């Protein structure tokens, strides 16, 4: 909701994303945000050409306006696939080209950090905001964190 504060806005999200498969349409129900689905590849990446073709900008009052790309790290629906740093860089470049933000559902972000052999900061440098679970890979009983720049957190 902090990335899509206006009515008629949408996110670009994989058709196998956790928030599409498991959240009872919460992004639409609670936030009033349209989830435009992008094809998920077997390796957990979103098809970049499909994503770019689905970006919508202002100009037609009949269509939602794309504001945000949502990605998962690791990708749950494809068996915990880890997104590469190169892929994350390409997603961010596409987002910048179209004036979009990028949010990472990083429920298993620390697993990805271990698999890639890099610090978490090296992964999250390609996103504007991230969530991660304290209970996955870190051993806490419950809890999640939302992180981003100060103005994002304020919203």
Q: How far is CA 42 from the centre of its chain?
A: 17
- Please say whether the beta carbons of 65 and 102 come within 8 A: no
pLDDT of residue 113: 95
Chain segment 18-69, per-residue pLDDT in tens: 888 888 888 888 888 999 999 999 999 999 999 999 999 877 888 999 999 9
DSSP code, position 4: -
Question: Which of these, 138, 62, 126, 139, lies nearest to 100 by C-alpha position?
Answer: 126
Q: Is the pLDDT of residue 102 over 90?
A: yes
pLDDT of residue 71: 97
**Spatial distance between the Cα atoms of 3 and 68, rounded to a whole number of angstroms:** 7
pLDDT of residue 23: 83
pLDDT of residue 35: 94
**Secondary structure class of 100 (helix, strand, coil):** coil
Q: Where are the domains of the chain?
A: 9-154
The string of DSSP codes covering 32-79 is --EEEEEPBPTTS-B-HHHHHHH---TT-TTS-EEEEEEEESSBGGGT
User: Which one is predicted more confidently, 8 or 118?
Assistant: 118
pLDDT of residue 72: 95
Question: Which of these, 102, 4, 6, lies nearest to 61 by C-alpha position?
Answer: 6
Chain segment 104-137, per-residue pLDDT in tens: 998 899 999 999 999 999 999 999 999 998 887 6
* Fold designation for 9-154: 3.40.640
CA dihedral of 34, 23, 19, 35, whole degrees rounded to 10: -10
């Amino acid at each position: 909701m902090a990335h899509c504060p206006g009515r008629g806005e949408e996110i670009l999200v994989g058709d196998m994303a956790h928030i599409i498969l498991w959240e009872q349409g919460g992004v639409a129900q609670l936030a009033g945000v349209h989830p435009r689905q992008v094809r998920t590849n077997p390796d957990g990446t979103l098809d970049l050409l499909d994503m770019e073709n689905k970006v919508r900008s202002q100009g037609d009052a009949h269509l939602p306006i794309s504001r945000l790309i949502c990605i998962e790290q690791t990708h749950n629906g494809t068996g915990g696939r880890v997104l590469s740093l190169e892929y994350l860089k390409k997603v961010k470049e596409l987002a910048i080209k179209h004036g979009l933000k990028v949010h990472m559902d990083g429920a298993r972000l620390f697993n990805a950090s271990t698999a890639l052999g890099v610090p978490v900061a090296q992964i999250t440098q390609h996103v504007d905001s991230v969530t991660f679970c304290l209970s996955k890979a870190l051993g806490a009983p419950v809890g999640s964190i939302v992180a981003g720049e100060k103005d994002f957190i304020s919203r």
